[in-house]
């Protein structure tokens, strides 16, 4: 049974919640900082954790998570293992436009194969962004893309649902 469900809590007005999952704390903090600094017309609440399950204490203070970002450092095999271990604990509704994978350190030589992360994202029908944390312009661009995805997954764009993201992904996969 999944331990994290997207519709357990009511949404807050003009607010979106993000769960950053990743075994490397420094990477989580950089992504969180970039998300908070990106221009957006709504408030963002960010919760960071190395993986799932989340500890039961503080459950009442946690926001509703509209988007789960799974961070995989291409420099660490443990990062990919932690991501794989967390995914079965997510409710299947997160796989309908409310989950995104971030492969960090994309420009350097790495220990984790890009194809392994791509396969993980494809298996869960979720978008995958390759991001280089060392370049501020790359991080800013990725943060803006994540803000756009968050706006859709939180239902803050009238007429567009999170399912739309999934259909876009399916159509882009069929063009390959």
Locate the domains of the chain by residue range: 15-174
Strand partners, 16: 44
Residue 109 pLDDT: 74
If one compares 106 and 95, the residue with the highest pLDDT of the two is 95
pLDDT-based confidence at residue 168 (cuts at 50, 70, 90): low
Report the predicted TM-score, pTM, of the whole model to 2 decimal places.
0.89
Which CATH superfamily does the domain covering 15-174 fall into?
A: P-loop containing nucleotide triphosphate hydrolases (3.40.50.300)
State pLDDT tens for residues 39-94: 999 999 999 999 999 988 888 888 899 999 999 999 999 999 999 999 999 998 88
**What's the whole-number average pLDDT of the chain?**
88
Phi/psi of residue 35, nearest 5 degrees: -65, -40
pLDDT at 165 over 80: no
Nearest Cα to Cα of residue 99 among 119, 129, 69: 69
Average pLDDT over residues 140-144: 94
| Most confidently predicted of 105-114, 153-162, 165-174 | 153-162
């Amino acid at each position: 049974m999944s331990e994290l469900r997207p519709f357990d809590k009511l949404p807050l007005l003009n607010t979106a919640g993000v769960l950053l999952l990743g075994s490397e704390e420094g990477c989580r903090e950089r992504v969180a900082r970039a998300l908070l600094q990106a221009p957006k017309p709504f408030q963002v609440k960010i919760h960071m954790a190395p993986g799932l399950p989340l500890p039961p204490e503080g459950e009442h203070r946690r926001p509703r998570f509209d988007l789960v970002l799974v961070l995989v450092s291409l420099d660490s095999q443990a990062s990919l293992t932690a991501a794989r271990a967390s995914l079965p604990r997510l409710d299947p509704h997160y796989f309908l436009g409310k989950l995104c994978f971030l492969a960090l350190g994309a420009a350097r030589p790495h220990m984790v194969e890009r194809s392994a992360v791509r396969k993980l994202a494809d298996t869960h029908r979720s978008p995958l962004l390759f991001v280089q944390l060392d370049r501020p312009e790359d991080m800013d661009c990725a943060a803006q893309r994540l803000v756009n995805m968050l706006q859709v997954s939180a239902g803050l764009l009238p007429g567009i649902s999170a399912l739309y993201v999934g259909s876009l992904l399916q159509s882009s996969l069929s063009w390959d």
